Structures are given as C-alpha cells and as structure tokens.
Structure 1
C-alpha cells in the first residue's frame, strides 16, 4: 500500500524551480518502511531517526529502524529484503569488493548502489585523562576492536599506522558493537575509540570526568598519510569544525569519509528509489537542524561522487532533475561499475577454479585473497 502526498510550492519558490526539489508533482511513498543502521547512540542511527521523523510528519510514512553493531547485521536484512534501505558505512565498499566479512563463499561481491551519502569525518576519540596526546602515545593503551565490523576496525588500523603502530602494539579490547566501543571509553574500560565526531555517546564522554579530545592526523605528515594509504585508499585528510569536543575555535585534523550512505541493491525499483530521494530532498528543512551533521544531507553534497559504490539509476534520475549530477559524476560512476564487473568476474573465475581444485570452505578465504590479488592487479 502506498501513501500519496502533494506539496505545493509558493510562487517565489516556483521561480527557482530549477534549483529546488520537484515537490509539486504527486509522489508516492510506502505507508511503512524498515531501515537498517548502526546501533543506538551512533550518528547514523540518530540521523536516520531524524529523517524517519520528517517522513512521518510530512508524508505520514511510518519508519521502523533496525540497529546493528556489525556490518553483517546491517547488510543481511538488506540482502534478504527485510529492510528497504541500509544506512551503511564502509562495509559498502568491502561488500562490493568481497573483502573481510564478505570474502566467504556465502557472500562474495554484492551488487550495491548508493542513493545518497553524507560527507562525514572520522577520528580517534581520546579519553583526556588517559594522557594520550598523539597517535604514537596510543602504544600500550586500551583500544576497542569490534567483532564483525571491518568498517570501523580498518579505520582504527589506518590511524594506528599513521604512527607506525599496529594492533600488536596496543592492548586490544574485544567489543561486540560500535556502540559498545564508545561505551567502553565512557566507562573506563578503554582509552580511545575510532568514531565519527557526531556520535551521541561522545557528548556524554565530553561531559564526564574522563573528558574528550582528538588525536591529530596532520595533513602535512606525508609519511603518516602514506602509511594510511597503504591500509586503505578511501581516506583523505580533513579539518573538522563541528562535533563533540570540536568547534571552529578548536578544530580537529582527522579523516574525511562518507557516512552514512543510504544503500540499496542494484535491482531495487528505479521509481521507488527516485521517490525516496525526492522525499529526502523535500523534507530537508524539517530534519536539517536535528544534529550538527544534518546539513551535510543537502544533495549538492550528499548526491555527489565519489562514494563507496555506484549511484542507483533512480537516484541519478532525480539528481539530474535538480542539476546536481555532472559529467564528472557520470564518468566516476561508469568507472566504478566497470570495477565491480571486474570483481564479479574474478570471483566467478576463482569459484570455478576452486571447484576444480577441491578447495575447501575453510581454505577459500586465503585462496580468494590470492586469486583476487592476481586477477585485479
């Protein structure tokens, strides 16, 4: 069942129609939706909740959110069709590339598409009372490692590499979820945690006796950034000016990433994705003040490349209508699609070879890693 809505534009807005969302046309949204997100307390959960509330106020659509602290926990409901949209992080990239949790035979390359992805930041949050000032100071300190969450763990690994450190150089604290990692710092069970600066739990840490600060990743440290690039290629230096413990007067030199990325599978209905993005755009003024990060959902920012996967055709159609999608975006999208086709081909060929050689399920991950390196040079 669908719910129809019509939003009228004023005469002044009509004069600027080419720059505004096309909300005058009758649009249909499902009466109810289910989305997966990071766990409660994460910025992704908070932002999805704000948009869900806006959809309810403007269109009468009821949205239920399924939080999970693991990559598999967020993506599996999307794969099975239980949820319609996933508000995901870098597991999108890992899933399209068949890496980490997705290198097992039950998964493999996932044909994912982006609807919209907010520019975000990510850094190493420090409990000030730990005495840590720099990444190098983290040696021997307690660092959370999250079960089944390569998206967070690889960021932490990259930040440690900035100072020549690895997981072997710290005291690893195994935790079940992203939320648990942040909670461990607040509760005194860990000294640092990799996180987005807008996670709700960080404000609790900032106001606690432990205090909050950020380990700097200076962009002029070429050796450090080369080390980061050797861990993963999708990080870039940035200066954050908003978030817990961060302001224009007290900025933080950390990562630039995309998070959350509203994600679907390639076979999702084009009209439904188009309508969803149109609704996201139409309700921007309702949710943009929910957190300091929400203005980043303006499609002039969130509807651009690069992202961790190609954009869905339904999203591209709407982005073209509002003059956001460029030739450069299309060129990037085409190249990313070609890359995903190459990964799928490599997976298929490796699967056939593994069958011929009687490679066991236990030996498959190592076999795929070697095949992937050879076929995707």
Structure 2
C-alpha cells in the first residue's frame, strides 16, 4: 500500500512537472523588453509583469528603460529587444508622423499584443491657477525632448481649451522623468500624463499640490478640437489618480498606455505564447500598481489601439471568446491605413530626396493627411 502511494505521488509529481514544462517551454528562457524610464507607470508595470513571468515560468526578463520614444523603438526594430512597452509613439511610427517624419524613419509596421486603457489630462500644480484647460494660457507647460507621445497629447489637450502652443510657454526637459517632476521643483506649472505616474504622487504631497483640468465628455466643441489633433482618445472617468480622494472621479481622456508591441514578422506562435502568459499570470501582477487590473484581456485586448493587433494575439483572443467580428473589421481597416501610408512613403521619399529635412517633414505630413483623409 505504501509502495503504491509512493508510486502515485511520483507519477503525480512528474505530471505536475510536465505540465509546468509544457507551459514554460512556449516562452523563451530570456527576453528583452523596452519601456519608459525608471519611475514611469510603464516601467513599473513592465517590471511587475516580468516578475510574474519569472515566478510562473522561470523566464528571465531584462528591461531596457528609455526616456524617448526613439530610444524604446530602436532596440525593437533592430532585433535587440523582443517586445516594447510603448505609448503613442507606436501610432506615430506607423504613420511616419512628428519625430518619425524624416528620411531615416517614415511609417513602419508594428503590431500590438495588448494595451492597458489609461487616463490622461492636463495635470497642474494646484497653486498654478489652472482650473480648466483654457486657464493654461501663458503658463509653463512641461514637454519632453524627442517624445512626441507626450508632447502631441499636450497639444491636443490644449486644443480642447481652445489653445495652441503659441498660447503657452513650452518648457522642454531632456527626459520624461525630469518633465514629470518639474512641477514639484516649480520649473513648470503643468504637463500631460497618466495620473498614476510616481512623480505625481510626489507633487500631490508637495506644498504645491495637484489639480486635474477636466475634459468633460459633454464638451462637444472641446472634443472636436482635441480629436483633430490626435484621433485616438475618448472621454473617460478616472477614479485612480495621485492625490484623488477615495470616491472622487476625474474627467479625463483615455488612450492606451502602455501598449505591448512587437514587429510584424515576430512569429505568431511566439506572440500567442506571450499573450497566453500575460493572461495566465494576471493574478500575480494585477495588484502590482493601482491601474494594473486594466490589463485583463477583456479590456486590454480590444480595439481601438494605436496599431493593428498581431495575428498571434488575435488567435489567442479568439480562443478566449474576446475577439469579435467587429474587432476583425477594425483591425482590417487599421491595417489598410498603415499599408496605404507605407506605400505612399515609398513613392514620396525618392521624389523629395533633395529637400531639407524640415521641408521634407512638412511635405510628408501634408501627404500623410491626404492619404488618411482618402481612407475615411
């Protein structure tokens, strides 16, 4: 009897080990991810997910932080990173827009795996006198050098209040972390970011205090002006934010941050294994930060998002009953737009090779707008 028990236990142990190995072997032993720099919400969330992958599957993840969109994208595009936790630079690269409207860049294909919905508005020091977005006129607004992901959101949100960059004092900082902490140091009055960034908790506890300029959903004209600048946001009520009292809600916009992205030629099986691991480790990382419950695939695995979803991610999302025919239609339309811009770039670039970089960027942005308008 005792021998039978020992054999049964041994078989059970082998089956458990086999099951673990079967799950673990779908992921590589090591991975490299890029993210925003240390202190950002993107870095904290990537770290929590990496830790969960290590605990469940034994996968070792090295995170390469960078304060610029280009710094997060280059390792991915050059094959030195497997995945990138991006913000709106994913959209900009796919469009060849802003910092990517240069002969060295242009539109390039990326694919999304999942993206957490994130709130965003104009975040101000409470003593700066910025109650509404319109009140930002003449104030110091923190921008980040080489980071269109942050900067164009500020431009869009200022448009919500009827303002342009000419109406404010733009103060540019070398990194995202420096810009986000600049209000606490009284080097700026406001910026635009997610409300759970660590530097905002410091601002909320500082003598200056914190205030979120509201983006009211019923302000039709404000939203029309915002979406003309950045057509990937929507109204959102946020109840998790630095300095926000329990039970209060801040009226913001929603976009996706971080977005886990990879290249279009990444193996569908590899991406399937990654999103499956993301799903299976959810309970291990969901409490890693105040916003991480939003990584549930029912929220993070749905359009709209900055770039098309990867086929490997779609396969898993369909198996889970999350992906719908409407999602397929959205993905096809988004892919059509990206393909059209890449084709337009292939024609535009050689025809305008003699332009200065500034003239080239302006001409391409105009051509990009024409292509996008023709697809609506």
Segment drifting more, 360-369 vs 289-298: 360-369
Contact 2:32 2:61 in 1 (8 A): yes
Query: Could you tell me which of 138, 144, 147 is aligned with 2:145?
Result: 147
Match of 1:372 in 2: 368
What stretches of structure 2 of length at least 5 have no aligned partner? 1-15
Distance 1:321 1:5, change over 3 A: farther
Q: Give the TM-score taking structure 1 as reference length.
A: 0.90
Larger helix proportion, structure 1 or 2? Answer: 2
Match of 2:33 in 1: 35
Aligned length: 358
**Looking at CA atoms only, which structure, 1 or 2, has the larger radius of gyration?**
2
Match of 1:18 in 2: none
Matches within 5 A, 1:344-363: 344-354=342-352, 358-361=354-357, 363=359
What does the per-residue CA deviation read over 1:297-316, in whole Å, with 9 as the maximum and x for residues that have no partner? 01111111111111101111
Match of 1:125 in 2: 123
SS, match of residue 28 in structure 1 = coil
Contact 1:270 1:314 in 2 (8 A): yes
Match of 1:11 in 2: none
Distance 1:285 1:6, change over 3 A: farther
Query: Could you tell me which of 291, 295, 300 is aligned with 1:297?
Result: 295
Q: Give the TM-score taking structure 2 as reference length.
A: 0.91
Distance 1:7 1:302, change over 3 A: farther
SS, match of residue 246 in structure 1 = coil
1:201 is displaced (CA, Å) by: 1.4
Query: Could you tell me which of 258, 265, 268 is aligned with 1:267?
Result: 265
What does the per-residue CA deviation read over 1:266-299, in whole Å, with 9 as the maximum and x for residues that have no partner? 0011111111111111100000011111110011
Aligned equivalents of 1:77 and 1:65: distance in 2? Answer: 11
Aligned equivalents of 2:211 and 2:287: distance in 1? Answer: 25
Query: Could you tell me which of 155, 158, 182 is aligned with 1:157?
Result: 155
1:375 is displaced (CA, Å) by: 4.0
- RMSD of aligned residue pairs (Cα, Å): 1.9
1:245 is displaced (CA, Å) by: 2.1
Aligned equivalents of 2:229 and 2:253: distance in 1? Answer: 13
What does the per-residue CA deviation read over 1:163-185, in whole Å, with 9 as the maximum and x for residues that have no partner? 21122222221101221111101
Aligned equivalents of 1:7 and 1:190: distance in 2? Answer: 54
SS, match of residue 146 in structure 2 = coil
Give every structure 1 segment of 4 or more consecutive aligned residues whose post-TM-superposition deviation is greater than 6 Å: none
